[in-house]
Amino acid sequence: MNIQGSLFLLAAYLLGAVPFGLIVARLAGVGDIRTQGSGNIGATNVLRVAGRKAGAIALALDMSKGTLVAGMAAWWFGSASPWSAASVVMVFLGHLYPVYLKFKGGKGVAVALGALLAWTPWAGLLMVIIWLGMAKLVRISSLAALTAFVVGPVAVVWLPAPELALPTHLLISLLVFWRHRANIRRLLQGTEPKIGQSKNQ
């Protein structure tokens, strides 16, 4: 199991590290997404630079890699296994620090939501609902994401979830906040752009 688990974690990281946003943007004909908009490889910047269709595809692909890894880990090792919790973290870290891009990746919101939706479905569903609802209400991508990741660790305390769900959610939420530190500063300053605006995110 140690060998299988270790190989699975490696595969989870390598899949998480696939920069779908960068790939989709190139296929959409806009070139290197890292030199445009916010410079981020995530779906929000793809939406901003390459349009709604490309943004939606990038979002779906990033969420799907998290869902695939977490779902397969839960099936193979069991949801309560530490290997499943570690797999959720590894696919997330792959997106944040992708080996293919010299460890300079995205902010991890979509891949984390996809993974948590598969591993802790009740909490994950609540997070997705809050994320989408806030995005529609305030039209600020970062604020919507941060709100969802505040709710996640609280939700797993009250909703059915594996034993390791709370520390896993806390770790992921802390990293999401860390990756959004520039966004948080702009939110406090009132300068954070809304979804669809062309300013840096």
Per-residue pLDDT of the chain (201 residues; tens, 9 = 90+): 689 999 999 999 999 999 999 999 999 999 999 999 889 999 989 998 999 999 999 999 999 999 999 999 999 999 999 999 999 999 999 999 999 999 999 999 999 999 999 999 999 999 999 999 999 999 999 999 999 999 999 999 999 999 999 999 999 999 999 999 999 999 999 999 888 665 444
Q: How many percent of the chain have pLDDT more than 70? A: 97
Residue ranges covered by each domain of the chain: 2-189
Q: Who contacts 36 (Cβ-Cβ below 8 Å, separation ≥6)?
A: 30, 45, 49
Going by C-alpha positions, the residue among 140, 135, 106, 111 that lies closest to residue 124 is 111
Q: What are phi and psi of 173, to 5 degrees?
A: -65, -40
pLDDT tens digits for range 70-122: 999 999 999 999 999 999 999 999 999 999 999 999 999 999 999 999 999 99
Q: In the prediction, which pLDDT does 198 show? A: 54
* 167/171 Cα distance (integer angstroms): 6
